[in-house]
Structure 1
Amino acid sequence: MGDEVMTLPPSKGSRILGSIANVIQDAFIHHIVPMARQLLENQLHVIEYDNGYTIEGRLPNMTKDDITIEYNTPYLMISAAKHNGHYYERSSRTFYLPNADDTQMNGSLEQGLFYLTIPKRGAITRRFHEDE
């Protein structure tokens, strides 16, 4: 046999692997990257005061109908879900809020900015009266 070099014709396997790589890349770029970006953008922050809590942050591309707020003592869960074309976006955050009065929540969502106030149970609120 000597110094003969054997060459093989290109196999179908290399074309299949290339196709699989394209599918994975397509799935990553079109589905995972937007979801990761959305999770980063859906940042909600809680601020505690003596008489209650404020939760604020960004929920871009969401409407009031896309958002669910649930309080199961002492945890508050804020979920946002939206069907968008070929994929479904979903994100949620849970906050530990002891003594929150879930019957007095007040919130708003305007141009992607989310704002929710929740008083604490038994919190003393200041009331101002006109002198008579």
Structure 2
Amino acid sequence: MNPAKRNGNRFPVISPLFDDFFGRELFNWGNNNFSSTRTTMPSVNIRETGDNYEVEVAAPGMEKKDFKITLDGNLLTISSFKQQSNEENNDRYTRREFSYQSFQRSFELPKDVVDQENINARYENGLLYLTIPKKEEVRRKEPKLIEIS
């Protein structure tokens, strides 16, 4: 009995396993948090409430001075750049290590909805929090009870 051929491959189940195994980082199998350029891209949660948009960016190890947040029209951009360098001198060698970490994420907010003057941002315990209030005229209001006469 000959193994079945599919697309010219005698072992159709084994080939994807090898491709998957050798295509991943050896010690970081579950990490899908990389862009196509192999830079880290933080996870972002966005929630809409009646009064605000709330954005959470997971960026551990950063400091608030590392972030730049801009709103251009209705395009919200969150970016960060962090650079570190260490140098160790011994009698026989000098070792220098450099580390660069950066990202940029942009989100389009609904037009004419955001109160741009009252956006609030804070960084706490590895999370960047943004509260983006809606304009008063577009906020959800409680249902009005209409009396029947």
TM-score, with structure 2 as normaliser: 0.54
The answer to whether the aligner puts 1:106 opposite 2:133 as a matched pair is: no
Could you tell me which amino acid in structure 1 is paired with residue 83 of structure 2?
Answer: H
Name the amino acid aligned to 1:39: T
May I ask how many residue pairs the two structures share in their alignment? 94
Pair member with larger Rg? 1
After superposition, the C-alpha distances for 1:67-125 in whole angstroms (9 at most, x for unaligned) are 01100111100001101221321101111112222210112111211111011123448
Read off the aligned partner of 2:84 and give its amino acid letter: N
Q: Secondary structure at the match of 1:103?
A: helix
Unaligned runs of at least 5 residues, structure 2: 1-24, 26-32, 86-97, 142-149
RMSD: 2.9
Task: Name 1:97's counterpart in structure 2.
Answer: 109
> Which structure 2 residues correspond to residues 1-132 of structure 1 after superposition, within 5 A?
36=34, 39-40=40-41, 42-85=42-85, 86-98=98-110, 99-122=113-136, 123-124=138-139
* 4+ residue runs over 6 A deviation: none
Aligned identity (percent) is 32
Q: TM-score by structure 1 length? A: 0.60
